[in-house]
């Protein structure tokens, strides 16, 4: 049985899944390019976004120690 071949999501180069040290990427460079796209918000998971934070009820604080 031949090893599974996949394409790098960044550059589309074919690689062997079993032997690729940066899988699913073909190299450290492609991995960092993908990370940069997520950090610069060029890529995102679709959704409604985050819900706004609800204000805390009066008289309650995050510190439950009573100090």
Domain count of the chain? 1
Q: Is residue 16 part of a domain?
A: yes
Domain coverage including residue 15? 5-39
CATH of the domain at 15: 3.30.50.10
pLDDT at 2: 67
**How many angstroms separate the CA atoms of 30 and 1, rounded?**
28
Q: Is residue 31 part of a domain?
A: yes
Does the pTM surpass 0.85? The reply is no
- Please report where in the chains the tokens 């604080």 appear, as a residue: 61
Q: Is residue 44 part of a domain?
A: no
pLDDT tens for residues 4-54? 999 999 999 999 999 999 999 999 999 999 999 999 999 888 887 666 676
């Amino acid at each position: 049985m031949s090893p599974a071949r996949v394409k790098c999501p960044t550059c589309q180069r074919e690689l062997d899944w079993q032997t690729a040290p940066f899988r699913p990427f073909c190299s450290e460079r492609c991995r960092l390019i993908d990370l940069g796209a997520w950090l610069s918000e060029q890529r995102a998971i679709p959704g409604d976004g985050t819900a706004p934070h609800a204000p805390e009820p009066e008289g309650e604080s995050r510190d439950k120690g009573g100090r």
